[in-house]
Amino acid sequence: MPISFDESKRIFKLDTKTSSYIFQVFEQNYLVHLYYGAYIPDNGVEDLAMRCCNASFSPANAIIGEHGFSVDSWPMEYSCNGTGDMRISALAIKNHCGNASTDVRYVSHRIFKGKPALCGLPSLYTMSDDDATTLEIETIDKVTGAKVFLLYTVFENYGAMTRSVRVENSSDKPMDIQRVYSACVEFPTMDYNMMHLYGMWCKERTLTSHHLAHGIQSVHSKRGSSSHTHNPFVALAKDDATEDFGEAFGFNLVYSGNFAADIEVDFNSSTRLIMGINPTDFCWRLDPGESFTAPELVMVYSNAGVGEMSRIFHRLYSNHLIRGEWKNKKRPLLINSWEAAYFDFDDDKLVAFAERAKELGIEMLVMDDGWFGVRNDDRRSLGDWYVNENKLKGGLSSLIERVNALGLNFGIWYEPEMISPDSDLYRAHPDWCLQVPGREKSIGRNQYILDMSRKDVRDNIYEQMASVLRNNKIDYVKWDFNRNLTEVGSALLPPERQQEVYHRFVLGTYELMGRIVNEFPHILLENCSGGGGRFDPGMLYFSPQIWCSDNTDPIERLTIQFGTSMCYPVSTVGAHVSACSRTGYETKGNVAMSGTFGYELDPIKLTEEERRIVKKQVKDYHKYYDVIHFGDLYRLIAPTENSHRCAWGYVSQDKSEALFTFVTMLRCQNPTFYVRLKGLDPDKYYIDDETDEIHSGALLMNAGFNLKNRPCSDGTSYTIYLKEVKNK
């Protein structure tokens, strides 16, 4: 059984095939953490909870304090504010008396097969009750009547578990949740490197790592979205861990709004990690009988290095986060009009694009920003989702029919959460955007933000979108989000609920996306936020792919895509070949192939040689699709660790085929280059598709390739495709 409870010791043990997570109902019903790490068959780890107290400065429970127990020093399973634990706390609830002292203790629990959905929030799912096992622990703060339910779901076959929290007000008075993190995780030492993904627009998700230090280290967003700046992912890797060896613990929040990941090393040199909704500008009024559910945190353990941690995330998300028709269905090879035309297009120009794209083997034309209202630049018409027939002179249906007649599918762009000051919608409903009385509204990209906490706003946008989608044969929608939230207030909510708006905005966006996905399940939805500003598991629950970055330079994309691969599978990574002049089309294609693949250029301007290369890339897309999208990723050389080269590969689940890609970012003085491959079966033999040479997996992984005769000039690249030889 993946989850067990030892009645005599009052110990919970949560097991996957590779990991164990153990905690105890201690004296006075405190929940105390005992162990998280590699799988162990027994549970005799009670002594691991003991920590030195800081003399009289570590408050003790009056009844059990003589045992050396203090919530200020012991590893608490879910830390609370204001009742003796002086470290970072996961929970703080202000009661009707005005104080935020919080203390929850164990009441009961239940263990059951399967996994419940979270109310109003995206979360991992099961296809049958045999996929996972769930533990729900009920705790209560007896003074305030706050019931807090801790949820743990174990995905036994993945080395992964999820955590969430639900707070219920069982009293007869209102209370205010000031912070409610999704999980608290304790580690006995500080012998870890903290890994996270930082960046900015066009430079998202750059991997960085530093050793833990005493005190608090944190990554967060208070931008209203998960953001370009920090991703809701952190990992703790043991000091001796590498890509292929050692322990790594990964944490990823299934949420698209303000988040925080806080890590504190205390005076015992032990470590606490909490992760969840950012408490800055957050407070949730909970009236009697109401409940609040925190977002889900995904926790992955690997004792085979950071690379295996990533592969666990990839398998888990591919099977239990991505949903719908496009979960395993082959994605269409598309061309997007944005970098080719920006706002300067009409129906004839788009049809001309489609004609040339069809000749190249491309399968879908996507019409980006500029098709609606009077949208000839970025200063107007967001919110007016009706077709601009001065631009599309035959109307949208006519354009789609012309594109379909060529054999191409058709996609369209939306930015549903935004509104232009110069729009019919804003003139009719100026109160529909986020705003704070007396404050000037900040402008970003010449647009304001709709108040997605309001049902009337969501209903209006939904009906506008649905009208277009119902009446036209649209196969793909790109959902964009091009600015951060400011002046976050709602005209409908009372003063005591204004700090709920950030979270209600996210819930409203999820509700609107869910309605679109449910009514139009055949549509392939791709998220975007100025590129990768909302690349998070919450968005992936609704859209199986996200535009990775507005930066399509293939050399700079290496760092972005490597960082993204820390926890997100390649099938989710929107990546296109563009007309940038940094490298040749071979390298552009090889880098974009490590993603959904497509084109972001004017196909009419391609030279004959470029057209030849694109046609080959289209063939390669189909040839390598399965091994890339359903295989395991192995990172060979990270662009942040080597100033000259970058390399990675995909190996099929059955180890029968593999594709490895090598990019020279900057020519090295010594062109001799040896690389050991990864992930192959040492007992199998493989034939190189280009040279017809046959080598064992053992040779390729242990001795490696000498690639001295391969291209090595700045910006060049090449691939090696290996296929198993059955009867060697």
Question: What's the rounded Cα separation, in Å, for the pair 204 and 56?
Answer: 47
Q: How many Cα atoms are found within 13 Å in the side-chain-facing hemisphere of 454?
A: 21
DSSP assignment of 257-297: S-EEEEEEE-TTS-EEEEEEE--TT--EEE-TT-EEEPPEE
Q: For residue 682, which phi and psi values (nearest 5 degrees)?
A: -65, -20
The one-character DSSP state at 475 is -
Find the helix packing angle between 347-360 and 395-405, rounded to 10°. 20
Task: Outline where DSSP puts E strands in 283-351.
Answer: 284-286, 291-293, 296-302, 334-336
Residue 351 near residue 399 (C-beta atoms within 8 A) = yes
3-class DSSP state for residue 14?
Answer: strand
Residue 435 near residue 500 (C-beta atoms within 8 A) = no
Nearest in space to 209 (alpha carbons), one of 182, 187, 238: 238
Q: Which two tokens stand for residue 606?
A: 């391609």
List the Cα angle 529/534/540 in 5-degree steps: 115
Question: What's the rounded Cα separation, in Å, for the pair 93 and 104?
Answer: 11
List the Cα angle 699/703/709 in 5-degree steps: 100
Q: Which two tokens stand for residue 231?
A: 């991703």
Residue 598 near residue 619 (C-beta atoms within 8 A) = no
Catalytic site positions: 480, 550
Question: What's the rounded Cα separation, in Å, for the pair 265 and 667?
Answer: 43
3-class DSSP state for residue 713?
Answer: coil
Find the helix packing angle between 347-360 and 608-630, rounded to 10°. 70
Residue 150 near residue 139 (C-beta atoms within 8 A) = yes
Question: What's the rounded Cα separation, in Å, for the pair 526 and 479?
Answer: 6
Q: Which two tokens stand for residue 279?
A: 């408490």
Residue 492 near residue 435 (C-beta atoms within 8 A) = no
Q: Which two tokens stand for residue 357?
A: 């794209």
Tell me, what amino acid is at 586? Answer: E
Q: For residue 259, which phi and psi values (nearest 5 degrees)?
A: -135, 165
